[in-house]
Structure 1
Amino acid sequence: MPLPRISKLLSVVALAGAVFATPGDPWVALDNQSKEFGKFLTGVDFDAPNSGWAVGDHTDHGSGKTTAHIRRWDGAKWADSAIGDLAGKSASLSQVAAVSGTDAWATGVPVAAPEARKATRSPRPHSPLPYRDEQRRFQAGKAVAAGTPYVLTHWDGQQWTSVAAPEPGADKSALVTDLERIGDHALAAGFEQKADPETGAPSEQTPFLDRYAGGKVQRLELPAQLTAKPSAVFSVTGKNADDVWISGAFLAPEKDTPYAAHWDGKAWTLSELPVTAEFPNGWNADQITTMGGTVYVSGRSLYTDGTLTTGYRYDGKAWTEWTDRGLAEINDLSVSADGSAMVAGGWPSQGSNISQYASFDGRAWTSHEQPAVLAGKDGQVLSVAHVPGTDRAMGVGYTNDDSEWGGTYYITASKP
């Protein structure tokens, strides 16, 4: 099968996405609390109007111990959920997929002892904000000794119970970078890699794609084109088991080469996306989703000597630049179950630290500011998800202020 052609080279000019979006109503705050309480949410998903989950971690500022944190949506309010056999264990959750009321999954990493944790520096130049997934860059020091599986827990309708994740190589750590419902099951995308014990610098990345179904985990086979050299899967989306898209990058010290790949039930088709001479360090294809027969990819560079934010879309024939993205820098994308709407969370312009949302109805983008209680504060949206059977979407993230533990962790929603 021939690979889809690339019809236009990448432009390295930063796109001020807000110019493509008409201002709309701000979102509303449903759940927010001071970071002084140590609770942090990074992922959100729903299986019904009255059933959803938000996951993260809870750090005791006195002892430094970090444990899993889960919130439950019942259609009217958010409340803390029992975390099952993760109680008392050092763990941080980052991704969640709600397949049904009796089938939900959350992933994360085991957390190293407080004294072993390292400070996380931002790969966003001139910004106090860390990159969307601090765990992705292992310098965060959260992962315990190499060879330890990632954290995986399953909701069966009654309780959360740990499930054994595939063991990484003896000298590698494993990280799930995206977790999505695909038809009647969930797919987890990620990678294993070595990390320098002194600097945390990553090497020898190996991608993986895990299927969660029937309460069990199955590691799927990826194409040889992807596994023959260091690479990572950063995002996954799809309609069913025979229509799956992934995106990521081939990773090298001097350049990250982005890609997108499609599984049609029989074979994988992989396309490398452009890296131009004007920005030779390359970029990562962080997010992939589909809407109305079009595949959308957003991405950015991770290098501190300059930042590129970009996007591409595929119409079934060719990849072209996705310039009217609504936001310049996107942290997360979600498309409604009926395919009629897309929502993005991120920043309206390159270098901005005040996050926004943007919604797309297939014709035009509308921008949405944070609720008044969060407005104008530095911060970032970490995850967004549509609520099935409604016209609403919700997001999780945080804001900062000048004090050590200052700011807010929040759950917000579009207006009904």
Structure 2
Amino acid sequence: MHTGSVRTVARVRGVAATAIGLAGTLMLSAPAHAVPSASEVWVEVPGPSVQTPNQFAGVLPLTVADAWAVGGKRVAGSADVTSLTARWNGRTWTAVPSPGQSRLRGVSGKPGGYVWAVGSSDDGTRSVVQAWKGSGWSVVGHVAATPDNPLHLNAVAALGNEDVWAVGNRGDLETTGQAVPHAQHYNGLSWQEVEVPQPPNAFIAQLTSVSANNSTDVWASGLAFGEAGFIPYFVHWDGRKWSLVQPPATITGGYSDVQAIGSGRIIAVGSTFDGEDPTPRPRIASLRNGVWVQESVPVAAAELNAVAVDGLGNVFVAGAELGAGGHDDRSPLILTRGATGPWSVQTSTDAKAGDLLDIQATRVDSIKWAVGSTGVTDETHNNLIMTAIPSQPN
């Protein structure tokens, strides 16, 4: 899922050069008030040193001095990938030992509560749920993958220590060409699989994100395919069951991530393909009080992987922009806008090769982190971490 000239806002001369110095102080104290996106710039912050190819797929900001990033790293001398976790202490990112033996793909939690991370092996034959309860990661028993029943866990949403959703898909697309949606819920005692519908005309469906307003208002989105290509795929949990939510025909594409932003309101991001042109075209869709809108995106070729909303209602989207070289010509991309108004590009093709896989923001003090990797192949991946800071005067 992964032309043209795009203006660059974030690569301001001198800002990137000061990122390492700022990393030691930029999160030491909370801002007096949230800073609007128009007065911010995104900079790279040094990540943990990892000796093998690695990338982060999920990030969780908790406070100014506490954040988590999760992903995977190559096992030395092997093609296998194992879990990777790192923690921000207000000054630096440090790798933290993780017991999971599979790539982690999502992380969620609340300040003062447990932190949950989920993932799976690339072929789906191993799945993992792990929890941080204050002093170390522990593997948690769950509705798990088996060699003959693959399971990919792609995302997690923790409403509390005893109310957690994990979503993904059963089946291994690479070997069988099949995938059906999967959701499971933790009630404080055990994980239970919960039936989730898929579009009736889809022969492949997978859930890639989950986001909750509260325990009776949970949204999940994903990628569904039918004979005509992508089918927009959204489901909603009302406290009793998952229901399929079908947007109008004006909404097109597959939606990698969804963010619940209040009762009756969501925003989702993803991409689509033309049947004869494999170039991914970005898609942003929003739902407000029953009205769906396909929003205009200021880049032509891009994969949009994640979306977040801060305490002021500013919206942030992370992904990768593609140049003329296609998949091997990709650079990290962040789009921002206020609660309303047009989108602006915060990073683009001036940045190093790579992409961003997740972006998150706190609602209270608007702390923002984005993670992914540099490099465009498994062998060249190295973790990439970015944050937003007040822009520097000229």
Question: Residue 159 of structure 1 corresponds to which residue in structure 2?
Answer: 136
Question: Residue 391 of structure 1 corresponds to which residue in structure 2?
Answer: 366
8 Å CA contact retained: 1:96, 1:106: yes
Moved more, 297-306 or 74-83: 297-306
TM-score where L is the length of structure 2: 0.75
Residue 100 (structure 2) pairs with residue 143 (structure 1): no
Question: Residue 311 of structure 1 corresponds to which residue in structure 2?
Answer: 284
Question: Residue 265 of structure 2 corresponds to which residue in structure 1?
Answer: 294
Residue 346 (structure 2) pairs with residue 346 (structure 1): no
Q: Structure 1's 82 and 406: CA in aligned 2 closer, same or farther, altered over 3 A?
A: closer
Matching of residues 14-33 of structure 1 within 5 Å:
25-32=40-47
Question: Residue 70 of structure 1 corresponds to which residue in structure 2?
Answer: 85
8 Å CA contact retained: 1:34, 1:406: no
Q: Deviations over 1:322-351 (max 9, x none)?
A: 225789541111123x46222111245786
Question: Residue 357 of structure 1 corresponds to which residue in structure 2?
Answer: 334
8 Å CA contact retained: 1:96, 1:107: yes
Structure of greater relative contact order (alpha carbons < 8 Å, 6+ residues apart): 1
Question: Residue 240 of structure 1 corresponds to which residue in structure 2?
Answer: 214
**Pairwise CA RMSD of aligned residues?**
3.8
Q: Structure 1's 38 and 248: CA in aligned 2 closer, same or farther, altered over 3 A?
A: closer
Counterpart residue identity of residue 298, structure 1: V
Residue 346 (structure 2) pairs with residue 368 (structure 1): yes
Question: Residue 166 of structure 2 corresponds to which residue in structure 1?
Answer: 188
Counterpart residue identity of residue 320, structure 1: V
Q: Structure 1's 291 and 78: CA in aligned 2 closer, same or farther, altered over 3 A?
A: same
Unaligned runs of 5+ in 2: 11-36
CA distance in 2, matches of 1:265, 1:33: 40
TM-score where L is the length of structure 1: 0.71
Q: Structure 1's 150 and 389: CA in aligned 2 closer, same or farther, altered over 3 A?
A: same
Instruction: Pick one of 16, 41, 54 that aligns with 2:56.
Output: 41
Counterpart residue identity of residue 123, structure 2: A
Moved more, 327-336 or 29-38: 29-38
| SS across alignment from 1:200 | helix
Q: Structure 1's 29 and 299: CA in aligned 2 closer, same or farther, altered over 3 A?
A: closer
Deviation at 1:386, TM superposition (A): 1.3
Residue 358 (structure 2) pairs with residue 378 (structure 1): no
CA distance in 2, matches of 1:238, 1:330: 20
CA distance in 1, matches of 2:80, 2:268: 37
CA distance in 2, matches of 1:202, 1:275: 26
Deviation at 1:92, TM superposition (A): 1.7
Q: Structure 1's 210 and 304: CA in aligned 2 closer, same or farther, altered over 3 A?
A: farther
Deviation at 1:238, TM superposition (A): 1.8
Q: Deviations over 1:356-385 (max 9, x none)?
A: 212222134443227xxx953221011111
| SS across alignment from 1:396 | strand
| SS across alignment from 1:69 | strand
Instruction: Pick one of 181, 190, 206 that aligns with 2:180.
Output: 206
8 Å CA contact retained: 1:286, 1:299: yes
Report % sequence identity: 22
Question: Residue 103 of structure 1 corresponds to which residue in structure 2?
Answer: 114
Q: Deviations over 1:206-254 (max 9, x none)?
A: 2122223426423233248679965322222121111111222443466
Counterpart residue identity of residue 238, structure 1: A
**Number of residue pairs aligned between Structure 1 and Structure 2:** 352
CA distance in 2, matches of 1:227, 1:214: 36
8 Å CA contact retained: 1:394, 1:414: yes
Q: Structure 1's 406 and 24: CA in aligned 2 closer, same or farther, altered over 3 A?
A: farther
8 Å CA contact retained: 1:257, 1:275: no
Moved more, 90-99 or 238-247: 90-99
Residue 383 (structure 2) pairs with residue 409 (structure 1): yes
Unaligned runs of 5+ in 1: 1-13, 111-141
Matching of residues 226-305 of structure 1 within 5 Å:
230-252=204-226, 255-266=229-240, 268-273=242-247, 283-291=253-261, 294-301=265-272, 305=277
Q: Deviations over 1:113-137 (max 9, x none)?
A: xxxxxxxxxxxxxxxxxxxxxxxxx
| SS across alignment from 2:352 | coil
Instruction: Pick one of 216, 219, 227 that aligns with 2:193.
Output: 219
Deviation at 1:70, TM superposition (A): 0.9
Deviation at 1:201, TM superposition (A): 4.6
| SS across alignment from 1:377 | coil
Counterpart residue identity of residue 214, structure 1: G
8 Å CA contact retained: 2:54, 2:381: no
Q: Structure 1's 393 and 261: CA in aligned 2 closer, same or farther, altered over 3 A?
A: same
| SS across alignment from 2:304 | strand
Instruction: Pick one of 314, 320, 323 that aligns with 2:293.
Output: 320
| SS across alignment from 1:27 | strand
CA distance in 1, matches of 2:371, 2:126: 26
| SS across alignment from 1:301 | strand
Q: Structure 1's 40 and 304: CA in aligned 2 closer, same or farther, altered over 3 A?
A: farther
Q: Deviations over 1:176-206 (max 9, x none)?
A: 22222346633212110145xxx62521x22
8 Å CA contact retained: 1:355, 1:378: yes
Deviation at 1:45, TM superposition (A): 0.8
8 Å CA contact retained: 2:255, 2:269: yes
CA distance in 2, matches of 1:72, 1:322: 35
Question: Residue 171 of structure 1 corresponds to which residue in structure 2?
Answer: 148
8 Å CA contact retained: 1:355, 1:369: yes
